Every structure is written in structure tokens, then in C-alpha cells.
A and B are shown apart, each in its own frame.
Chain A
Amino acid sequence: QLQLQESGPGLVKPSETLSLTCTVSGGSISSSGYYWGWIRQPPGKGLEWIGNVFYIGSTDYNSSLKSRVTISVDTSKNQFSLKLSSVTAADTAVYYCARWDCGGGSCYPDFWGQGTLVTVSS
């Protein structure tokens, strides 16, 4: 059974860089037909798509975050990562990693991690 697990600091200072890693088990991150991505949910708010990465390293980002986001993949470790720079309190959220199934006409996040809360505070 595919599992995704987020890891990283739960507290980040304002203006610093948020860094999270998603470890994939039960399947290969190099499988064709799948992208891997990050989604977040600020407290009391809805979900927000952050961006996706393909195993060869190509990426797509939310235009509102594009200048601050980097998503990368490490196939040797079956992991992918998120870096969000210059964070503010508005970046406080539960961050989810997810597999995106792109086998049909579009892509859908069909498997999600449990999520990890990241708080931005001094």
C-alpha cells in the first residue's frame, strides 16, 4: 500500500526558509504517469495547491507562490522536497504531500500524507 510521510521542522522563523520532505513507501517515485506535489491548509481555511514535480525534475507551481517555492525530487531516496523562502505568518499551515495520478486527461492527487503543521513565528 502506498504511503506518504511528511517530515521537517514544525516551527520556522519569519523571513527564513521552510523545508519539508515527503518520503514515499510502497511504490516508486520514478513511476511514469505520476507527479508528486504539495498542498497546504492554513488554519480555518481551505486547501491551496502549491506545486508538483515529475521524477525527472520538471515542475509546475502556483503562480502566487512561484517566486518563493522550489520543489525537488531525490529518486535515490524515494523522496521529494519543498522549500518555501521568506516565510511570514501567512505561511502557517498544515502541509500535505500527495501523489498526483496523471494517467488520464488530467492529474488528480489520489494519495495524500497525513499532513504536518508548520508554524511561522519568532
Chain B
Amino acid sequence: QSALTQPRSVSGSPGQSVTISCTGTSSDVGGYNFVSWYQHHPGKAPKFMIYDVTKRPSGVPDRFSGSKSGNTASLTISGLQAEDEADYYCCSYAGRYTYVFGTGTKVTVL
């Protein structure tokens, strides 16, 4: 199981949109619609943001949206806010009850 590939960093100004990619293989991201995303402020517990590629748990703002095309999943943050500055990780089911996380992306709000 190799880690899913994410860009090291993305940035945007308040109000703009940013998109984070998460690239895997046909054995994980491409093979299942079971991708999730997590927001992590250092020193705190990671927060569950997206599951089943596109679904939001209750309480997550609709500014956060997920999508997938082939072996690449994406998280888009629309209307970027200062509190969105954090690290973001994707996670995919990889078959046989195993899971793989992404390398992580630091989102900076300019």
C-alpha cells in the first residue's frame, strides 16, 4: 500500500476557491467510491469532513465539497475562510478491509 499523492501545499485568498487533489490507483481511489477527507489543525484531533467521495457529515459547511474522476479524488473549498487554514488528508478504502491515507496538503489562506 503506497500513500495517496497530494500536493504539498495550496493557497488562496479569502473568498476564493482552492482544490486539493488526491491521486491513487485502480486498487484504491479508482476502484471504490469510498474516499474521505480530514481537516487537521496541528495539535488537535483531525476532523471528518467528507465521506463516500461527496457526502458531508452533519455540521460540515457546504463550502467543502468532494469529487472523483478515475484514480484522482478532489476536495474543493469554496469561499475560503481564515479558519480553513490547516492540513488536509484524503483516505481511501484499498480492498480487503484495508485503508490508505494521502501524503497531506497544507492549505494557506493568504
Interface residues in chain A, defined as those with a beta carbon under 8 Å from any beta carbon in chain B? 39, 45-49, 52, 60, 62-64, 96, 104-115
Question: Is the Cβ of A47 less than 8 Å from the Cβ of B98?
Answer: no
**Across the interface, do A109 and B48 meet the contact criterion of CB distance under 8 Å?**
yes
13 additional A-B pairs beyond A46-B103, A48-B101, A105-B33, beta carbons within 8 Å, are A45-B104, A46-B104, A47-B38, A52-B97, A60-B96, A104-B51, A107-B93, A108-B51, A109-B36, A109-B91, A111-B45, A112-B46, A114-B44
29 inter-chain pairs at a CB distance below 8 angstroms, sorted by A residue, are A46-B3, A46-B6, A46-B101, A46-B102, A46-B103, A47-B89, A47-B102, A47-B104, A48-B101, A49-B98, A60-B97, A60-B98, A62-B1, A63-B1, A96-B45, A96-B46, A105-B33, A105-B52, A106-B32, A107-B93, A108-B36, A108-B91, A109-B48, A110-B51, A110-B57, A111-B48, A112-B45, A112-B47, A113-B45
Whether B18 is near chain A, meaning CB under 8 Å from some CB there, is: no
Q: Are A64 and B1 in contact (CB under 8 A)?
A: yes
How far, in whole Å, are A106 and B50 apart by their CA atoms in the complex? Answer: 13
Contact partners of A110 in chain B: CB under 8 A: 48, 51, 57
Q: How far is the CA of A69 from the CA of B42 in the complex (A)?
A: 26
Contacts of A63 in B (CB 8 A): 1, 98
How many A-B residue contacts, CB cutoff 8 Å? 69
Choose from A49, A52, A60, A114 the contact partner of B100 (Cβ within 8 Å).
A49
B104 CB, nearest partner CB in chain A, Å:
4
What is the predominant secondary structure among interface residues of chain B facing chain A? loop
Hey, which chain B residues are within 8 Å of A52, CB to CB? 97
The answer to whether B45 touches A47, judged by C-beta atoms less than 8 angstroms apart, is no
**Interface residue from B6, B51, B101, B103 paired with A49 (Cβ < 8 Å):** B101
Q: Tell me whether B101 and A115 are in contact (CB under 8 A).
A: no
Tell me whether A108 and B48 are in contact (CB under 8 A). Answer: yes
Given contacts A62-B1, A105-B34, A106-B32, contact A114 B45 (CB under 8 A): yes
